Amino acid sequence: MEAYLKPTEFVDSDSPEVREFSRKAIADAESPREKAVKLYYAVRDGIYYDPYRIEPSRESFKASSILRKGHGYCVAKAVVLAAALRASDIPCRLHFADVRNHLTTERLRKMMQTDIFYYHGYNDIWLSGRWVKVTPTFNLSLCNKFKVKPLDFDGVNDAVFHPFDQEGRRHMEYITDHGFFADLPFDAIVHTFVTCYGDMVAQYVREAAANGAFEREAQHEFVTQHEFVRDH
């Protein structure tokens, strides 16, 4: 258990940025459960989900660096939550799985050339004598635009991706479990990305970052789909 309480290279829970973020998020919460719930929502909605601005450097994947930027994709947000929880003396580990995402934007589909998100990151939190799974990936505003059920966390039950969205469409499907880690398996993630996505990712990431945010794409595509259905 000690390994999931200690600061690491990426889960730098002893950094000033992480400690201040954790302190503000917790506020007057007292029990580990209350603290975990507050930290979950602080990361879910306070760190903006953006799958385009991913810098493949070790420094950029540290929790303190992600907090300074204020945005990141699933892995980055899981790293921040792990660090914030450890800074509050709550054991937390990183967990990774490949997921099939049935809802995404056209640009992201072209970029990835697959509907599988490799090494999707989430967290296991030790609460009341057991590990609870939580996924702080999608902020509330993004869920509203995609019509995806936001993942709420009560400190007791798992909060993992729903298989269907609010309109009954397939959403997420867990495929391969890569297990849990005390620190980010940076080399394995980068190797998998290069192997499974290739050089096209870098090109599309640059174009997408320059041309607009992921959340705006989601809003545009959802409105366009509904206008088509209404008019036909």
pLDDT in tens, 63-99: 999 999 999 999 999 999 999 999 999 999 999 999 9
Alpha-carbon distances of 22 from 28, 42, 108, rounded to whole Å: 12, 9, 32
Which amino acid makes up residue 67? L
- The confidence score (pLDDT) of residue 228 equals 33
170, β-bridge pairs = 164
Alpha carbons 72 and 91: distance in angstroms, whole number:
22
Instruction: Report the alpha-carbon angle 100-102-103, nearest 5.
Output: 130
Alpha carbons 201 and 43: distance in angstroms, whole number:
26
The yes-or-no verdict on residue 209 having pLDDT over 80 is no
- The confidence score (pLDDT) of residue 201 equals 55
The strands making up 116-127's β-sheet, listed across from edge to edge, are: 130-134, 116-127, 92-101, 172-181
Which amino acid makes up residue 81? L
- For the ranges 58-72, 124-138, 168-182, which has the lowest average pLDDT? 168-182
Burial (CB count <10 Å: 0-12, 13-18, 19+), residue 8: buried
- The confidence score (pLDDT) of residue 232 equals 39
At 225, the pLDDT band (50, 70, 90 cuts) reads: very low
Q: Which long-range contacts does 51-56 make (Cβ < 8 Å, 24+ apart)? A: 51/108, 51/214, 52/205, 52/208, 52/209, 52/213, 52/214, 53/205, 53/209, 54/205, 56/190, 56/193
Check: pTM over 0.85? Answer yes or no: no
At 162, the pLDDT band (50, 70, 90 cuts) reads: low
Nearest partner of 73 among 125, 118, 138, judged by Cα: 138
Average pLDDT over residues 46-64: 89
The yes-or-no verdict on residue 171 having pLDDT over 70 is no
Mean pLDDT taken over the chain: 83
